[in-house]
Amino acid sequence: MKAPRIRSFSYHYREKFGEPVGKLPLDLGHSCPNRRYGGCIFCAAPAFSPGYLQEKRDISSQIIKGKELFLHKRFKKYFAYFQQETATAQPSSQLFPVFEMVLTDPECVGLILSTRPDYVIEQFLAELAALLAGTGKDCLIEIGLQSVHEKSLAFLNRNHSYDDFIRACQTIRRYEKFEIGAHLLFGIPGETQADMLFSVNEVVDIGVDAFKFHHLQILRTTRMAELYEQGKVIPMAMEDYLDLLLDIIPMVPKSIVIHRLWATAHPDMLIAPRWRILAAELSEMLRQQMAERELSQGCHLSS
Ligand code: SF4
């Protein structure tokens, strides 16, 4: 397989498992602890839930429905993706029976757990590492960080610090079994392009295995939408965002898997920016621009 310009999720796991691997979103049915403090001002959970999760179902029914409606026979193997609402915030007594059940499915190659830096708990990791031992299955812990700049974290109402993220990474690194992913958000009001690049470089230096990049989307029902209506938030234009990615991707080491390059909220929830372009077209545009400029992931790093 010819190495692509970007080590994407699909390329990386096809190379690793010898066949296409998908992500199957599953919903544990609880609420993120940060919602007790008003929640992050950009976050609206329904914006990123696939249709089959809208109706309340138990996890086995979600897996059956998800395989049928979401994986669409395109992927036989999949990661069970606990993306919603800080997956590690529930007590182990509720989480582990679910993980145990999911891991018995031979088509499931592992878990992806999405969480916050302040919900990476040592005891939980120790129990999870023990559960995974001998299964041969992967586990990626994705941490929502969004920015390394404290003023941005405060503005977003994240209620954690950048130091919390560093501590969470150090804790996860004590366990060989886990990989670390980081989410970064671009276009936060008040951040310059240099600030965004700084966030990427900082997190690269800390040492992560995966990135998810998002541009700021203004979603219905959020505090960010109110600020947008008041003219206090200007979403990034598509061309500016692509330019930003052309600066960022060459600074990301080739070994890091880039799971996502932009946000894709449900159109019913999205107020702005409305780029009116399919993700596949955007992807193609980025790849073309990278080819024209002879750029690839990590190409600006000295080896
Ligand atoms: S921590 Fe995550 S799930 Fe919770 S409110 Fe913030 S973005 Fe939403």
Distance 176 CA to ligand 1 centre (A): 27
DSSP 250: G
Residue of 43, 90, 146, 152 with the most ligand 1 atoms within 8 Å of its CB, for mutation:
43
Distance 185 CA to ligand 1 centre (A): 12
pLDDT at 34 over 70: yes
What was the pLDDT predicted at 173? 98
What was the pLDDT predicted at 132? 96
The residue whose CA is least distant from atom 4 of ligand 1 is 32
Q: Read off the pLDDT of each residue in 12-38 and give the average, rounded to a whole number.
A: 94
Residues 6+ apart with CB under 8 A from 247: 193, 197
Over the stretch 48-90, which tens digit does the pLDDT of each residue have? 677 777 666 788 989 998 998 888 778 999 999 999 889 999 9
Nearest to 275 by CA among 292, 263, 287: 263
Q: How far apart are CA 49 and CA 28, in angstroms?
A: 12
Which residues' Cβ are closer than 6 Å to ligand 1?
32, 34-35, 39-40, 43, 85-86, 116, 144
Distance 133 CA to ligand 1 centre (A): 29
In this structure, are residues 259 and 181 in contact, taking their beta carbons and an 8 Å threshold? Answer: yes
Over the stretch 203-260, which tens digit does the pLDDT of each residue have? 999 999 999 999 999 999 999 999 999 999 999 999 999 999 999 999 999 999 999 9
pLDDT at 45 over 80: no
At 145, the amino acid letter reads L
Q: Please state the atom number of ligand 1 nearest to the C-alpha of residue 86.
A: 3
DSSP strand pairing (270-272 vs 218-219): antiparallel
The residue whose CA is least distant from atom 5 of ligand 1 is 39
Indicate the helix (H) or strand (E) that contains 27. Answer: none
pLDDT at 303 over 70: no
User: What pTM was computed for the model?
Assistant: 0.95
**Which domains, and CATH codes, for the chain?**
9-292 (3.20.20.70)
Q: How far apart are CA 128 and CA 169, in angstroms?
A: 16
Q: How far apart are CA 232 and CA 12, in angstroms?
A: 39
Q: How far apart are CA 11 and CA 264, in angstroms?
A: 20
Place of tokens 């980025």: 286
Over the stretch 157-167, which tens digit does the pLDDT of each residue have? 999 999 999 99
> Phi, psi (5° rounding) for residue 270?
-90, 125
